[in-house]
């Protein structure tokens, strides 16, 4: 089983859709079994963040972690 964490640095004005697109384009998430709607809601609940870490297990989406802006 391979576990990895990828880092996505977003500017202050970057929309949530930009993060989702970044994840999909880079295949950091398969959006399965998480639906797009669930993923959007989860990312929105993270609030304003400067750095978002995308975790995958065997190239399947495993979750997000983030660091708050200072």
pLDDT tens digits for 14-67? Answer: 566 666 677 667 666 555 556 667 767 766 776 665 566 666 666 666 666 666
Enumerate the H helices of 1-70 as residue ranges. 16-25, 36-45
Q: Where are the domains of the chain?
A: 3-68
Q: Read off the pTM.
A: 0.36
Across the chain, which distance is largest between two alpha carbons, in Å? 36
């Amino acid at each position: 089983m391979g576990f990895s964490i990828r880092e996505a640095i977003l500017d202050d004005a970057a929309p949530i859709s930009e993060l989702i697109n970044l994840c999909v384009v880079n295949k950091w998430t398969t959006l399965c079994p998480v639906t797009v709607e669930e993923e959007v809601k989860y990312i929105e609940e993270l609030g304003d963040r400067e750095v978002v870490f995308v975790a995958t297990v065997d190239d399947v989406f495993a979750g997000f972690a983030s660091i708050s802006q200072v």
